[in-house]
Amino acid sequence: MINEIIATLIEIFSSNSMQIPLIQPLVDYLMEIPLLNILVALILWRPFFAVVIMPGLIVLMLYLLYIVWFERKLTARIQWRVGPLEVARPIRGAIQALADGLRYFFQEAIVHRDAHRPYFVQLPILAFIPILLPIAFIPAGNAVGIKTPYAIQLIVAFLALIPITIIAIGWASNNRFAFVGSVREALMYVAYEIPFIIAVISMIYLYGSGDPYVAVEKQSLLPGAILNPIAFLVFLITMLMATSRLPFEIPEADQEIAFGPFVEYSGMLFGLVMVLAYEKLYIMALLFVILFLGGWNGIYCDLLGDLNAPLWLFIKTIVVISILAIVRSMYARYRIDQTLRYSFSWLIAFSIVALVVGVVAGWIV
């Protein structure tokens, strides 16, 4: 009975598995071993591989370890400092983020008396849902969780849910700084969401479909950044606003409102909310690469087979994020009213121009 179920499962998994010639001998060898073979088949099953391994959860965790270290190191180099070094000196403190994470894990997570206890504890974990859901829809070549022609629209819709959890976090904290922070987050949300959605719609017009496969295929000659440079710029700026990176680090301004909505968190819960913006940045950067930088298009290597597409997508995403990390050491913080004025005048105007460009270009292409 169990053997039959396992055999059926292996058959389901193997019928749709990643073909990677480089590790094929190893896979063949492991498939001979009972019980281990179902694990290997599961890992190589395309939907599972896309959601859990790459560009999904495991790569997301590796990215988090990398980006926190890289951002600190880069900022330090620009500022005539050394940066993280003492944790694992031979690799220049590269596991600093892991050490910090461990510290958060063993620190007491204090829930203060005024907090709305259930929401205060649940919301950092609930906030992961709108971050993990888009991963199911982001394809990387053959590796895809759920294949749908409306993937881009769905990703944008899930991204729009994240600020709601942050506002709820601020409300549950019941602290005046957290309250000011969540009001600022709500204002920022209004400021960036409209130009962001218009920029994405302009690209959907350009490609004629919300299907990432169509988008990537149409970029085989020219990347989207050249086809519609204005939408590219609008997306880039709204990406900075949405992830509260520095010129727009307004909801979390630590000199003004002491980390805003997250002021009351400590321990593991703080570790969870701290990486929220980085995770959002990862999802947005994946969307950015698919829409503007040709997605998983790249030099095809025969040995890697199906792994080519996820790898190229990941490399491009990491490069984009690493370049974005530099703004933290370049800019001061804008005021909220300046940002709103800027967003409702220039950014919306630019996004409408981008929409016109998108419609015209889509008509030509």
Partner 1 sequence: MEIKIDVPVEPPKELETLFLPIPKDYVEDVYKKDDFLILVGPQHPGSGHMRLIVRVKGDIIQEVIPDPGYVHRSMEKLAENRLYIQNIPLVERPAIMDSANFNLGYVRAIETALDIEVPERAKFIRTILAELCRIGTHLYDAAILAVFLGHTTGFMYPFGIRELICEALARMTGARFTSSFIIPGGVRRDVDERTLRWVYDATFAIERRLKSFERIFIKNPTVIARLREVGVLSKDEAILYGVVGPFLRASGVEYDTRIVEPYEAYEEVTWDIVTADEGDGYARFLVRVNEVSQSLGIIRQCITSMPEGRYVSEQICDDVKGNFFDAYGNLVLPAGEYTTLTEAARGTLLFTIVSDGESNVPYRVRIVTPGWLYLRGFMESLKGERLADLQAIYGSFGYFPPEADR
Q: Which residues bind partner 1 (CB under 8 A)?
A: 75, 78-81, 246-247, 249, 253-256, 258, 328-338
Q: Is 143 helix (H, G, I), strand (E, B) or coil?
A: strand
Which residue, 12 or 78, has its beta carbon nearer to partner 1?
A: 78
Least separation in angstroms between CB 146 and partner 1:
40
| Alpha-carbon span 115 to 321, nearest angstrom | 35
- Contact present, 330 and 79 (Cβ < 8 Å): no
**At closest approach, how far in Å is the CB of 255 from partner 1?**
5
Is the Cβ–Cβ distance between 355 and 198 less than 8 Å? yes
Distance CA 309, CA 18 (A): 11
Task: Quote the least distance from Cβ 274 to partner 1, whole Å.
Answer: 17
C-beta of 14 vs 329, nearer to partner 1: 329
Nearer to partner 1, 96 or 244 (CB): 244
Q: Taking a C-beta distance cutoff of 8 angstroms, is the pair 88, 236 a contact?
A: no
Compare residues 265 and 314 and give the one whose CB is closer to partner 1: 265
Q: Show Cβ contacts of residue 105 under 8 Å, excluding neighbours closer than 6 positions.
A: 267, 268, 271
Q: By 3-state DSSP, what share of the chain in percent is helix, strand and coil, each rounded to 5?
A: 70, 0, 25
Give the pair of three-digit tokens for residue 120: 């205060």
Instruction: Give the residue with the Cβ less far from partner 1, 145 or 247.
Output: 247
Q: Which is nearer to partner 1, 218 or 245 (CB)?
A: 245
CA atoms within 13 A on the CB side of 223: 16
Amino acid at 201: I
Question: Please, are residues 244 and 250 in contact by the beta-carbon 8 Å criterion?
Answer: yes
| CB-nearer residue toward partner 1: 116 or 328 | 328
Distance, CA of 16 to CA of 12 (rounded, Å): 7
Q: Is 126 helix (H, G, I), strand (E, B) or coil?
A: helix
User: CB of 174: closest distance to partner 1 in angstroms?
Assistant: 14
Q: CB of residue 281 vs partner 1: minimum separation in angstroms?
A: 18
Can you tell me the distance from the alpha carbon of 346 to that of 362, in angstroms, rounded to the nearest whole number? Answer: 24
Nearer to partner 1, 174 or 329 (CB): 329
- Closest distance between partner 1 and the C-beta of residue 176, in Å? 8
- CB closer to partner 1, 108 vs 337: 337
Q: How far apart are CA 74 and CA 327, in angstroms?
A: 10
We find the least distance from the C-beta atom of residue 76 to partner 1, in angstroms, to be: 9
Output the smallest distance, CB 14 to partner 1, in A. 52
Find the shortest distance in angstroms from Cβ 238 to partner 1. Answer: 17
Among residues 55, 221, 59, the alpha carbon closest in space to that of 141 is found at 55
Cα→Cα distances 12→41, 42, 43, 47, 53, Å: 9, 9, 12, 12, 19
- Distance CA(97)–CA(99), nearest Å, equals 5
